[in-house]
C-alpha cells in the first residue's frame, strides 16, 4: 500500500470488524482517519486501540447512525465543516439478517442502513470529495448480492412478507448498483473522484450474529477452511481505496475459491447489478426516499 500521509479517510462502522481493521491499516500508513460510528463510546475505545497499536496515529471519532437520516445529515455537515477535503469515503458499516425492524425514517432496517444511509451520506459529502484530486468512494457489498437478491420496487420495505436473507441480498445488490451508477455520473461530470466496490468474502466478524444457530455453527466449523480473518477480509476494501492502478467501477474481492478467502483481485458481479435501467430506477427511488440529490 502506498504511503497515505496527508490523506483524510472516513470509514463508517469502524469500531469493530472489517471497518476497524480498515481504519487501523490506513492510520498505520499515515492517513488521518475518522471513525464514523453509531456509538461514541465504542468509537472512542476503537480509537484508543488504534492509537495504542500505532503510536502517533491521527484518529478521530464522528457520531453517525446510518439508520437515521437526521443523524446522517448532522454527521455530514460536521465532517464537511471539519474537512474541506476528503480523500477516501469507505462505506463499510452494515447489518445482516436482522429480524424485521424499521429505521427512524420507516425504512426496512437492512435496506435503510446498508444502502439508503450510505447513499445519503455520500451525496452530502460529495463537495469535499469532488474537491479532492484522486478521491475515492468505496462501498462494501457482499457475495450475498447474488442470494435471493433483486430490487423489490413494488415492496422495497418488505411490508408484505419479510425474508431476512432476501432483504440482505437486496441491500447488497443496491450497494453495487449505487457504485456503478455513481461512477458513471462522476465520469460524466469530469470530477476527480471515482467510485469502487468491494466484498470481504467469508470474513469472520460479528456481522453474522443474526444468522440461524445451525448456520452459525456451520460457519464456525468451516471457518479455518472457508473463511478468513477480519484483517484479510478488509484487504479488498483497502486495495480498492489505495491501489494506484485501481479504476472506477471496479469490484474487488478475495481471489480464492468461491471468493471466500484469498488476496484481493477484481471480481465479477451479477448481471442484475450491471443493468443500467435498474440502476437508474433505484437511483431515482433513493433520491426520493432520502431527499438527497447529487450536485453533479
Q: Is the dihedral of CA 62, 250, 24, 244 positive or negative?
A: negative
Q: Which residue has the cell 483524510?
A: 8
Catalytic residue positions? Answer: 168
* Residue 104, helix vs strand vs coil: coil
Q: Do residues 226 and 202 lie in contact, with contact meaning Cβ atoms separated by under 8 Å? A: yes
Q: Do residues 88 and 40 lie in contact, with contact meaning Cβ atoms separated by under 8 Å? A: no
DSSP state of 102: B
Calpha distance 30→18 (Å, rounded)? 19
Task: Give the burial class of 74: count Cβ atoms within 10 A of its Cβ; 0-12 exposed, 13-18 middle, 19 or more buried.
Answer: middle
Calpha distance 212→185 (Å, rounded)? 40
Cell numbers given for 272? 442484475
- Sheet with 88-91, strands from edge to edge, namely 58-63, 32-37, 8-12, 88-91, 135-140, 193-198, 251-254, 264-266
* Residue 16: φ, ψ to 5°: -155, 165
Calpha distance 119→137 (Å, rounded)? 11
* Residue 157: φ, ψ to 5°: -95, 10
Amino acid at each position: 500500500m502506498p504511503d497515505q500521509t496527508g490523506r483524510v479517510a472516513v470509514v463508517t462502522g469502524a469500531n469493530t470488524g472489517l471497518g476497524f481493521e480498515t481504519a487501523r491499516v490506513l492510520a498505520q500508513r499515515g492517513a488521518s482517519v475518522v471513525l464514523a460510528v453509531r456509538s461514541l463510546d465504542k468509537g472512542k475505545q476503537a480509537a484508543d486501540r488504534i492509537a495504542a497499536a500505532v503510536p502517533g496515529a491521527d484518529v478521530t471519532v464522528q457520531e453517525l447512525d446510518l439508520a437515521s437520516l437526521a443523524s446522517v445529515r448532522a454527521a455530514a455537515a460536521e465532517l464537511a465543516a471539519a474537512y474541506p477535503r476528503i480523500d477516501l469515503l469507505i462505506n463499510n458499516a452494515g447489518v445482516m439478517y436482522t429480524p424485521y425492524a424499521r429505521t427512524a425514517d420507516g425504512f426496512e432496517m437492512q435496506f435503510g442502513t446498508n444502502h439508503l444511509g450510505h447513499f445519503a451520506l455520500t451525496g452530502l459529502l460529495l463537495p469535499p470529495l469532488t474537491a479532492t484530486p484522486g478521491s475515492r468512494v468505496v462501498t462494501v457489498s457482499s457475495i450475498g448480492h447474488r442470494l435471493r437478491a433483486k430490487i423489490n420496487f413494488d415492496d422495497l420495505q418488505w411490508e408484505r412478507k419479510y425474508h431476512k436473507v432476501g432483504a440482505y441480498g437486496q441491500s447488497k445488490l443496491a450497494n453495487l448498483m449505487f457504485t456503478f451508477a455513481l461512477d458513471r455520473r462522476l465520469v460524466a461530470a469530469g470530477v476527480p473522484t471515482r467510485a469502487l466496490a468491494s466484498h470481504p468474502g467469508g470474513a469472520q466478524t460479528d456481522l453474522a450474529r443474526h444468522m440461524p444457530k445451525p448456520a452459525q455453527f456451520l460457519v464456525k466449523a468451516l471457518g479455518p477452511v472457508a473463511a478468513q480473518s477480519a484483517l484479510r477480509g478488509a484487504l479488498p476494501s483497502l486495495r480498492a481505496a489505495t491501489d494506484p492502478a485501481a479504476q472506477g467501477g471496479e469490484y474487488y474481492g478475495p481471489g480464492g475459491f468461491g471468493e471466500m478467502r484469498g488476496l484481493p483481485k477484481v471480481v465479477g458481479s451479477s448481471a442484475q447489478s450491471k443493468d443500467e435501467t435498474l440502476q437508474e430506477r433505484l437511483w431515482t427511488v433513493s433520491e426520493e426516499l432520502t431527499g438527497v440529490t447529487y450536485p453533479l
